[in-house]
Amino acid sequence: MKLFFENDYNCGCAPEILRRLEKENNNPRVGYGNDDLTAAAAAKILKAVGKPAGEVYLAMGGTQTNATVISAFLRTYQGVVAAQTGHIGVHEAGAIEATGHKVLAVPNVVDKISPADLKAYLSAFYADENHTHMVQPGMVYISHPTEYGSLYSKKELEEIRQICTEYQLPLFVDGARLGYALAAPENEITLQDLGRLADVFYIGGTKVGALLGEAIVFPKGMPPFFPTHAKQHGSMLAKGFVTAAQFDELFTNDLYVRLGQHGIDMAMKLKKGLAAKGYGFHIDSPTNQQFIIVTNEQAKALHEKVFFEDWEKKDAAHMVIRFVTSWSTREEDVDALLQMM
């Protein structure tokens, strides 16, 4: 059987979650997230975030979450500021535009928006005498970790927050892979930091051990009528308790942290092993996505035995490939992959 390092959403869910779903299976509950499990999961999440007066909404997937959240905050004449490589601008099939809003791309290094670039973009916008004919920045979107596995430092996040405050822009953090950030040794940003610095962020379940589900956290509370808006955007689950049971379990006995930790342990083992073998890295990624430089022939040969993604061309003879580990990666597979390379 081929090894699997293609993504972090390739298996069902953590066994604890499966057991929990089984345990809750026969208890009838009211629909649409008005049940006790949804309330319990929200309370646990908000406690972890340090914002007990905040609110949580459980959605089903990342693209859906991004479009639903962003369109809830923006006014018609506004767009969302994102890194040029941001997921919403590239790999979400125009979901943001389908809600009527432009993604305003800020040039970036390794998938991060630097505070300086953000500031430069915003001050240039308002200095432009034609800016009333242009899409007004209405929100800042960043990913942590980013699509390249990189991490914002606490200083960077605090500076971005300060700029957002200065320009009255809500800050949204896409945490599709947040579990792998939290477990990374280099990571400086805690759930409490996000609760303090973001206006809204989400804790990804799909990529960190759940069957599906993303927990949207509003540290200061939801925008008015957010559930109606979510229903309109196809983001309301009839059986809200299905995602709730999973998040309640993820925030019981530190399961979310432990799942993230396993993904990071596997990634670091793989990273060290590859470095020891002399492979070069496109990016020095501290999280569960590793971008390795191989020859075109190596890539081709590897595809016979391993599921993984070709990322981009490096030069005529080399390419960047991506290996992804996760909560479900088996250590023997990492060993096998290292042996193979």
Q: How many residues does the chain have?
A: 341
Cα 42 to Cα 34: distance, rounded to the nearest angstrom:
12
Establish if 126 lies at the interface with a copy of itself (CB under 8 A): no
CB-nearer residue toward a copy of itself: 107 or 280: 107
Site string for a copy of itself, 139-158 (x = CB under 8 A): --------------------
Question: How far is the CA of 300 from the CAs of 165, 171, 222, 289, 297, in angstroms?
Answer: 48, 41, 48, 20, 5
CB 13 within 8 A of CB 246: yes
Find the binder of a copy of itself among 116, 120, 134, 340 (CB under 8 A): 134
Nearer to a copy of itself, 187 or 325 (CB): 325
How far apart CA 62 and CA 68 sit, in angstroms, is 10
Out of 238, 276, 316, 317, the residue judged to bind a copy of itself by CB under 8 A: 238
Q: Which two tokens stand for residue 146?
A: 């980013």
Residue 211 binds a copy of itself, judged by CB under 8 A: yes
3-state DSSP assignment of residue 295: strand
Site for a copy of itself in 21-40 (CB under 8 A): 21-22, 24-32
Antiparallel, parallel or unpaired: β 136-143 and 214-218: unpaired
For a copy of itself, which stretch binds (CB under 8 A), given 134-142, 148-156, 178-186, 314-322?
134-142
231 belongs to the binding site for a copy of itself (CB under 8 A) = yes
Q: Answer yes or no whether residue 314 interacts with a copy of itself by CB under 8 A.
A: no
Shortest CB 65 distance to a copy of itself, Å: 8
Q: How far apart are CA 287 and CA 290, in angstroms?
A: 7
Identify residues 46-105 at the interface with a copy of itself (CB under 8 A): 60-64, 67-68, 71-72, 75-77, 79, 90-95, 97-103
- Contact partners, residue 53, CB within 8 Å, separation at least 6: 46, 221
Cα angle 215, 216, 221; round to 5: 135
16 in contact with a copy of itself (CB under 8 A) = no
Closer Cβ to a copy of itself, 48 or 245, answer by number = 245
